Amino acid sequence: MPHWSGGPSGLSTTIIEVLRPPSVDSEALSVRGGTGGKMIVCLAWGSLVWNPGALPIVGDWSTDGPALPLEFARESEDGRMTLVLVDHDRPVSVLWAELEVRDIEQASEALRLREKVRFDGAIGRWPAVARQHAFDEVIGGWMNAKGFDGVVWTALRPGMRADRQSRSYVTPSLARIERHLAALPPEARVNAARYVNSAPEQIATPYRPALGLMLADASSVANP
């Protein structure tokens, strides 16, 4: 218990310890969030993992992200079928990494620039703003359980390019994707095979085994 010692001119060691402010571990503070003390992370499942570009990730990708339904269901400009969120009942755990950013706005913009998309709606974020995305509550629950302050992810829609031009965002059937890949010129098939083969092993989507078999000839060129 604090007490006086030696008259009014001397506080005892006990009361000095009570009044002394707690020490701050500056190294521990510098670890969390990097900037501003907030921990903002980015989810990934496709090329972002092996080619983050200028995205300011900190450290390596972790493999214990939220379980989300994914598929090779979006035709890219070069003909590859890329991974996007879809609606099916076979979710897989995605990857995540910390971002060296000051807030969720900077994180969203950094991901938008890396993905080369012109509209903010292509980037998901939690806490959410006006625009809602599929599975944002699942992602938000995972974020809260991890104790993070914010999370961003790519929220591009599925579909073949011709369908998306008419604002139809449906997941193409496996048969349609196989016909599309079969019609690609050799170099484009090699790129398509490289993308499928490069996706993290844990991204075991329903279509992946069949696509791997179909692109086996191109895979031997993509991965000599």
Residue type, 155: A
Find all residues with CB under 8 Å of 42, minimum gap 6, and list them: 48, 55, 57, 96, 97, 99, 107, 111, 151, 152, 153
pLDDT at 220 (0 to 100): 60
Q: Is the pTM of this model over 0.85?
A: no
Distance in angstroms (rounded) separating the CA atoms of residues 203 and 94: 7
Q: What is the pLDDT along the chain (224 residues), one digit of tens a residue?
A: 433 334 444 433 333 333 333 333 333 333 455 555 789 999 999 999 999 999 999 999 999 999 999 999 999 999 999 999 999 999 999 999 999 999 999 999 999 999 999 877 899 999 987 667 889 999 999 999 999 999 999 999 999 998 888 888 899 999 999 999 999 999 999 999 999 999 999 999 999 999 999 999 876 654 54
pLDDT at 223 (0 to 100): 55
